[in-house]
Amino acid sequence: MARKIGGAVFCDVFCETGVFTPEQASMILRAGVKLGFKPKIHADEFTDSGGARVANQIRAVSADHLVQSPISELEKMAKTGVVPVLLPALPTAF
């Protein structure tokens, strides 16, 4: 059961080049899980930053953006239960 602090249920992090590294994102999400929060991640919007891999390792509730994620990591989400949320209208996707 998720712990609520001021109504919060999720721990969310942005894993992207120049923001949080995969290692930092993993550490943040694992700390949140220990506190009872459900993990979510925003990742790989501009580069393949490794965020989709982190989402699968952590078994995040969802992973958003994913424009630059490797297909292999997106396919793996079907097995890990991560809900991929894509941004198909993003200019970098074309």
Please give the average pLDDT of every successive group of 10 residues along the chain, which has 94 residues. Answer: 72 96 98 96 95 98 95 97 83 51
Residues in the chain: 94
Domain assignment present for 3: no
What is the structure's pLDDT at 94?
A: 44
Domain assignment present for 5: no
Domain assignment present for 76: yes
Domain assignment present for 4: no
Domain span including residue 75:
10-93
What is the structure's pLDDT at 5?
A: 62
**Whole-number Å distance between alpha carbons of 70 and 4:** 34
**Whole-number Å distance between alpha carbons of 51 and 54:** 5
What is the structure's pLDDT at 1?
A: 53
How many domains, the chain? Answer: 1
What is the structure's pLDDT at 16?
A: 96
What is the structure's pLDDT at 93?
A: 47
